Structure 1
């Protein structure tokens, strides 16, 4: 039986778009500039999800004293290369079109300028009532205070709102806010970690979501 919803909240990195390779390339460019060896793409992808500061800190490891220079190098490079290899996941446009009449929001811990640039590059902005990056609000996922203003603004009860994401923070946010959680299993987070969280719904493609909700 399909569940009725009034608000859909989508993650960006690893959910709507596969952004991991461009992030990894910019991180490794940063590391090389600092005289550090490359990290594997998979390791860098495991650092994604808590915003750019944590991504850079984790990528520096024990070289945290280089942070100020590192963040500048990373941001300058990523700003120019964030669309080199990034692409939409299969089924994204089909899903968004199917739910065109529903209120939809992009909610990411990624910087606002980068979120907007990626959404605009794929002409998705018309599907969303709001696009919210990690530096637009005082809170970040999985803090439930991040979504309270959205629920209040659109007069939506938490149990009629769903968060769709590939990250641990997406599922934790939904649970802490009393919202429906839907985990996308083909993103940046290893599926075993997502399965352990016992989300309300799981999907291998965003196309499947139209079978879950009304």
Structure 2
């Protein structure tokens, strides 16, 4: 088990970790499908399809299955434009913070941790959503999908943020709800917490073997305090 007493920077996933955005994403996806006269999808389907970025989510929705085949590129670009328009318009609606997120982030900030968001959500949506949720002030840096050539589960985004803070992987902790977070952290040599309540393509987060499994967000402070005391 890795030690956490060296941790200076905590990296958080966004959707399914800090914010329950399924209703918000579902409405934008369904609106884009409707405009383009494509078959409807369910909220639960969207929940299982989240985690690999908006492009993959839309392609799964267009094909109505997790593993999709070739998608007509012209139609996809139109669906993507419509999705972006709907999502921008509703960025301040139909989402909720998970229990104890603001209080826990505040406690971690007071304890001296630097925090950042590393998400596959398109970069242009990250700051607006954090600001709408009232938690943007806790994060010294945010990195969304599309800024780099690779997304999680590739370790590139995690390495990149470590470089921004001049910290080693062992001085960093990743907190996420998806196997993409776990795989990226393990590949980067970063200790990782898996949260059981988020979105993980219908699979238990334990299957991805994070270093720790937590069931509530506020358990993070107790974990870090215990490791520091030890």
Q: Report TM bin, short chain.
A: over 0.9
1:10 is aligned to 12
**Shift of the alpha carbon at 1:191?**
6.8
Written as runs of structure 1 = structure 2, the 5 A alignment for 1:41-52 is 41-52=43-54
Question: C-alpha distance in 2, partners of 1:113/1:186?
Answer: 26
**Shift of the alpha carbon at 1:77?**
0.8
1:188 matched to 2:199: yes
Instruction: Using structure 2 for the length normalisation, give the TM-score.
Output: 0.87
User: Closer, same or farther in 2 for the Cα pair 1:63/1:177, shift >3 Å?
Assistant: closer
Written as runs of structure 1 = structure 2, the 5 A alignment for 1:79-94 is 79-94=88-103
User: Closer, same or farther in 2 for the Cα pair 1:84/1:200, shift >3 Å?
Assistant: same
**Alpha-carbon contact 1:23-1:82 (below 8 Å) kept:** no
1:68 matched to 2:69: no
1:29 is aligned to 31
RMSD: 1.8
Question: C-alpha distance in 1, partners of 2:175/2:8?
Answer: 14
Give CA-to-partner distance per residue, 1:49-84, whole Å, 9 cap, x none. 111111111111168222121111111111111332
**Shift of the alpha carbon at 1:122?**
2.0
**Shift of the alpha carbon at 1:190?**
5.6
Question: C-alpha distance in 1, partners of 2:107/2:202?
Answer: 26
Written as runs of structure 1 = structure 2, the 5 A alignment for 1:106-121 is 106-121=117-132
**Shift of the alpha carbon at 1:156?**
2.0
**Alpha-carbon contact 1:21-1:86 (below 8 Å) kept:** yes
Question: C-alpha distance in 2, partners of 1:147/1:85?
Answer: 29
Question: C-alpha distance in 2, partners of 1:40/1:95?
Answer: 32
Question: C-alpha distance in 1, partners of 2:223/2:188?
Answer: 20
Q: Which runs of 5+ in 1 are unaligned?
A: none
1:158 to 137, 157, 169: 169
Instruction: Using structure 1 for the length normalisation, give the TM-score.
Output: 0.93
**Alpha-carbon contact 1:161-1:180 (below 8 Å) kept:** yes
Give CA-to-partner distance per residue, 1:149-181, whole Å, 9 cap, x none. 322332322122111111111011111001011
**Shift of the alpha carbon at 1:26?**
1.1
**Alpha-carbon contact 2:24-2:90 (below 8 Å) kept:** yes
The residue matched to 1:140 in structure 2 has which SS?
Answer: coil
